[in-house]
């Protein structure tokens, strides 16, 4: 295959991946605590030129645009006042710990509620974790301090478990939950900054994402045109080679 075809095909594939990422970001613009995906690009230079095999020489053929890595951008989202005492947000680093059927998962989505048993749970019914496991609140006036301590009628009931995971070590699990990738661990945040009666908004900027969507679509169309142009050139060559003058 011609080098131009390789380069254009690789570029088109990279743009397809970016389109999927942007579409997912836009779909979660209004998801509480959502952290957008981002990508970085790199040059791929390991395509082997088969024509050099017989001479014992190898030549790298650069394929210019490929996805280097896709990662979660854990930057801070905005804050929305709800005045609901069970709504909490983290300012700065950290994630709330939640006990799910798949084990402990982490989230920035703090729109919690109470279960029938008086446990602090997520919207999915999973128990929010404190220093001693599940947090039991029961009935009474709930106050949550900036450090994450939960008081019911001015009596300390527990403290929210807030942990930190390296941005590159986050693995998206769905429903705004994350787990550490293999080789990464969650560590306790000693002095978290927790805000009561507030929710963190998604960190997706819809205007930025829409601009990215348009530019990515145009880039994808350009790569397609290159592929068609190279293909047409070969087709024309095959029709004309050996034809009488």
Long-range contacts of 120-128 (CB under 8 A, 24+ apart): 120/86, 120/150, 122/98, 124/100, 124/175, 126/98, 126/99, 126/100, 126/101, 127/98, 127/99, 128/96, 128/97, 128/98, 128/160
Average pLDDT over residues 138-149: 91
C-alpha separations of 232 from 1, 102, 174, 218, 238 in Å: 13, 52, 44, 21, 10
Q: Contact 122/234 with Cβ under 8 angstroms?
A: no
| Per-chain mean pLDDT for the chain | 83
Domain ranges across the chain: 3-74+205-239, 79-200
- pLDDT over threshold 80, residue 40: no
Q: What percent of the chain has pLDDT over 90?
A: 51
Contacts of 176 (CB under 8 A, 6+ apart): 31, 32, 33, 34, 107, 108, 109
The single residue listed with the structure tokens 């080679």 is: 241
19-28, 47-56, 144-153, 167-176: least confident range: 47-56
Helices 3-27 and 206-240: angle between axes, nearest 10 degrees: 160
What pLDDT is recorded for position 2?
A: 57
- Identify the band that residue 66 occupies on the pLDDT scale cut at 50, 70 and 90: low
Output the DSSP codes for 152-189: ETTEEEEEB-EEE--GGGEEEEETTEEEEPTT---EE-
Give residue-wise pLDDT tens across range 161-200.
999 998 888 888 888 899 999 889 899 998 999 999 999 9
Contacts of 138 (CB under 8 A, 6+ apart): 118, 152
Distance in angstroms (rounded) separating the CA atoms of residues 38 and 118: 39
């Amino acid at each position: 295959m011609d080098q131009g075809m390789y380069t254009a095909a690789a570029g088109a594939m990279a743009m397809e991946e970016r389109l999927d990422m942007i579409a997912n970001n836009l779909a979660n613009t209004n998801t509480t605590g959502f952290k957008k995906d981002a990508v970085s690009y790199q040059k791929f230079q390991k395509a082997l030129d088969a024509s050099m095999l017989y001479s014992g020489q190898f030549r790298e053929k650069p394929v210019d645009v490929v996805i280097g890595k896709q990662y979660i951008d854990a930057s801070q989202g905005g804050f929305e006042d709800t005045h609901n005492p069970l709504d909490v947000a983290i300012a700065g680093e950290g994630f709330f710990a939640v006990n799910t059927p798949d084990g402990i998962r982490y989230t920035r989505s703090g729109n919690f509620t109470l279960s029938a048993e008086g446990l602090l749970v997520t919207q999915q019914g999973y128990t929010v974790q404190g220093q001693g496991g599940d947090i039991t609140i029961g009935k009474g006036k709930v106050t949550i301090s900036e450090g994450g301590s939960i008081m019911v009628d001015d009596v300390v009931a527990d403290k929210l478990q807030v942990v930190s995971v390296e941005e590159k070590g986050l693995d998206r699990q769905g429903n705004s939950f994350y787990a550490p990738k293999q080789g990464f661990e969650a560590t306790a945040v000693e002095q978290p900054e927790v805000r009561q009666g507030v929710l963190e908004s998604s960190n997706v900027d819809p205007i930025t994402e829409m601009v990215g969507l348009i530019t990515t679509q145009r880039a994808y169309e350009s790569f397609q045109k290159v592929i068609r142009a190279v293909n047409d050139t070969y087709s024309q060559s095959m029709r004309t080679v050996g034809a009488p003058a």
